[in-house]
Amino acid sequence: MKVKQIAVFLENKSGRMAEITSVLARNGINIRAMSLADTADFGILRLIVNDTDNASQILKDNGFTVGMTEVLVIEVVDKPGGLASVLQIIKENNLNIEYMYAFTQKSGETGLIIFRFDEIDRAITALNKSGVRILSGEEVYAI
């Protein structure tokens, strides 16, 4: 149920995203989801890709600073209130979200929300108990 996510630390300068995506493309790595957050001096690019271990090594070999974290990918109904219902479960179970980002594959069907929790195993237990569908790494990497 846990999904590996790559975090790449980037200097806040023009062209760095193009470098990363080009390196990954040349090596057959497909990006499944991504999020970019920045500060004044650097950015953090979070990536879920089809081959995490290989992508991480390729990026390191090309001079990027790379970390690895585990996240949960939760399926929600793509309609008003879909996210709210999951967030209510998270609230009721006193779970702390460090960050989250989302994507949909086909409008009106399901959305996928990527969550980083401070207590990921406790989050899995609570979400499973509430009937929330958590995707496996294999499902996410194959999207």
pLDDT, tens digit (0-9, with 9 covering 90-100), for 40-66: 778 899 999 999 999 999 999 999 999
3-42 as b/e: b if 16+ CB within 10 A: bbbbbbebeeeeebeeebeebbeeeebeebbbbeeeeeee
Top-level class of domain 71-135: alpha beta
Give the per-residue pLDDT at 63.
Answer: 94
Spell out the alpha helix ranges (H) of the chain: 16-26, 52-61, 82-92, 120-129, 137-141
Q: What whole-number distance in Å separates Cα of residue 16 and Cα of residue 43?
A: 10
Domain 2-70 homologous superfamily, CATH: VC0802-like (3.30.2130.10)
Q: What whole-number distance in Å separates Cα of residue 30 and Cα of residue 131?
A: 30
Q: Do domains 2-70 and 71-135 have the same CATH topology?
A: no
Give the per-residue pLDDT at 39.
Answer: 74
Where the chain has pLDDT below 50, the residues are none
Give the per-residue pLDDT at 108.
Answer: 64
Give the per-residue pLDDT at 6.
Answer: 97
Give the per-residue pLDDT at 96.
Answer: 97
In the chain, domain spans: 2-70, 71-135
Give the per-residue pLDDT at 107.
Answer: 64
